[in-house]
Homo-oligomer: A and B are copies of this chain.
């Protein structure tokens, strides 16, 4: 498998975490978003959305969209599982992942920040306020949801969670961790998100998350 990705892209980072958690070897193909390499015809002609990440399978077929890729990896390489077995628990984990992937990340990625600057002529302060507004609103919602799920686990006799859900990394952790890296890079206030940051720190103590992080990528700093 080949992963087309960029060290700083948080959607790419999600898939790198999943690959590392499952111990799957892959070729790292860097696509430099700052240089617009995702828009070059050789790449863009193969993918409707011309975004990273994309996973190229051994038969040459390409899979798009980070959460779809992670679900594919989980279905084809089930151990260790990135979703729990119980349907309600699976729904909770997917909803946490989607809270990041549908409510926070889309508002704060590079092409949106570029639109704010170029088309709307926002200055840096207004751009930073935008970033911080959606990151804070989304991460506060994430924190509240983790606390509600902790209460639900307690009420239904399940052990407390150390990560987002339970003790084993899930799709939710694959999405949370890159979003926190992003928030830290943009100096978003995180001190009041105790439960979320505890999950983040527990993830970062694991080798798979360390190996997947931007600073460990071959294109880091290039």
Contact = CB atoms under 8 A, between A and B. Distances in A.
Interface residues of A, number: 52
13 contacts: A48-B99, A49-B99, A51-B103, A61-B88, A64-B95, A67-B102, A68-B98, A69-B91, A72-B87, A72-B90, A102-B105, A106-B106, A115-B133
Contact of A98 (B47, B50, B67, B143): B67
Interface string A108-125: 000010010001101000
Interface of A: 46-51, 57, 61, 63-65, 67-69, 71-72, 75-76, 87-88, 90-92, 94-95, 97-99, 101-103, 105-107, 112, 115, 119-120, 122, 126, 129-130, 133, 141-148, 152
In the assembly, how many copies of this chain are there?
Answer: 2
Contacts of A130: 115, 119-120
